[in-house]
Amino acid sequence: AQSVTQLGSHVSVSEGALVLLRCNYSSSVPPYLFWYVQYPNQGLQLLLKYTTGATLVKGINGFEAEFKKSETSFHLTKPSAHMSDAAEYFCAASWTSGSRLTFGEGTQLTVNP
Partner 1 sequence: DGGITQSPKYLFRKEGQNVTLSCEQNLNHDAMYWYRQDPGQGLRLIYYSQIVNDFQKGDIAEGYSVSREKKESFPLTVTSAQKNPTAFYLCASSQITGELFFGEGSRLTVL
**Per CB under 8 A, 80 contacts partner 1:** no
**Per CB under 8 A, 26 contacts partner 1:** no
One symbol per residue from 49 to 68: x for binding partner 1 (CB under 8 A), - otherwise; what is it? Answer: x-x-----------------
Q: At a CB cut-off of 8 Å and minimum separation 6, what does 40 contact?
A: 87
| Integer Cα distance of 94 and 5 in angstroms | 13
Nearer to partner 1 by Cβ, of 42 and 112: the residue is: 42
Nearer to partner 1 by Cβ, of 17 and 59: the residue is: 59
| Integer Cα distance of 40 and 50 in angstroms | 26
| Integer Cα distance of 33 and 49 in angstroms | 6
Which residues make up the interface to partner 1 (CB under 8 A)?
9, 32, 34, 36, 41-46, 49, 51, 90, 92, 94, 97-101, 103-106
